Structure 1
Amino acid sequence: MSETKKDYEKIEELYELYEQKIYYVAFTILNNIQQAEDAVQETFIALYENLETLHGFDTEQLNRYILRIAKNKAIDSYRKNKRHVTFLEDYRKEAQELSDENIEKWEQRQISEIQIDSLLIVLNDSYRQVFKYKIFYNLSYLEISKRLGITEATVRKQFERARKRVQTVLGGRQNDESKRLQKHV
């Protein structure tokens, strides 16, 4: 009989004798059917890899050895679960904070754009277009001049006049909108 066949028969014999005991040990630690089944598989893989060690054990030593491996595999899985749960909790917390922050920024931007759109009614079409390209799309004066087919100097002057007009409509106050407008100069 070949060595491989003997090894296979030995593992098969151990499986018949210990599979339920290993499962019980793993399940009491993990409280999860699938993870307990995985721990059983990992235990038998470890046993197969250390099969030569088992030949020197009597029945009592073999029993303790196998159940200790099962317990260690289950504990490793439990620890891995704990790290995973902690990671997920941290991730969820960060994602929620980011989500809240992004929603708040989006709401502020929406309000700002709506307010700016209502302010732009006071501007003529040419000024309004230059103003939107500069504020909403953050285009440079050169990019705006190319899009509109006018000189860069004209774009600068129209934007400056549009910005002043909007600040006048805002009442000349230094609020968030006028600070935002000055930032784009």
Structure 2
Amino acid sequence: MDYMNAVEDESLLVTEACQGSMQAFERLVELYEPRIRRIIYARTQDVQLTQDICQETFLAAYRALPQMNGKELRFAPWLIRIAQNLINSEWRRRKHVTLIPFTHPYGGDDELEEGTGEEYLGGEEEFEERVAQRDLVKRVLAQLPASSVMCLLMDAEGFSYNEIAETLQDSLSAVRSRLSRARQAFQRIYAGLDQEGRS
């Protein structure tokens, strides 16, 4: 399926979901749930909390859809904003913030599964290297502004500049500039911390 057909099909699904089609909504969940879950996990570093917030995100979306204009609704940015708001509410409740590697700690792309720790361990050397790398990424991201972190996460998940701009409610040029600066800052801080760790 080419890009334009994919976009048209998604727009049709959103319109039908807004009109009450459970089948259309379930298809949208299938399309977006893995990426939304990875973004939430990147912010929370907690498998159970990720599953809870992901479920709440889609439940909130389902409840709100009847009030939305399906032809105008940009589903992905809207969905990520719902997830962001739920995460922020959870942080206010817990009064702490945790940041975040780009990938699942067990190496899975689409599944956050419990009980996979043993498979992840591998050899001791490999395990220690992965732990060190994850810790370094977390330390780097903790030094970046939240908007820069979200830009990097969405870019890593394959969202377009337009989708990132809509999610952050910013202009396309501002997002391009922010993403460029965020990448440079990430590389600079990462290199500095990595060098520091090796010396």
What TM-score bracket applies, with the shorter chain setting the length? Answer: 0.3 to 0.5
Q: Which has the higher helix share?
A: 1
Taking structure 2 as the reference length, what is the TM-score of the superposition? Answer: 0.35
Task: Specify the structure having the higher radius of gyration (Cα).
Answer: 1
Taking structure 1 as the reference length, what is the TM-score of the superposition? Answer: 0.38
Identify which of structures 1 and 2 has the higher relative contact order when contacts are C-alpha pairs closer than 8 Å and 6+ apart. 2
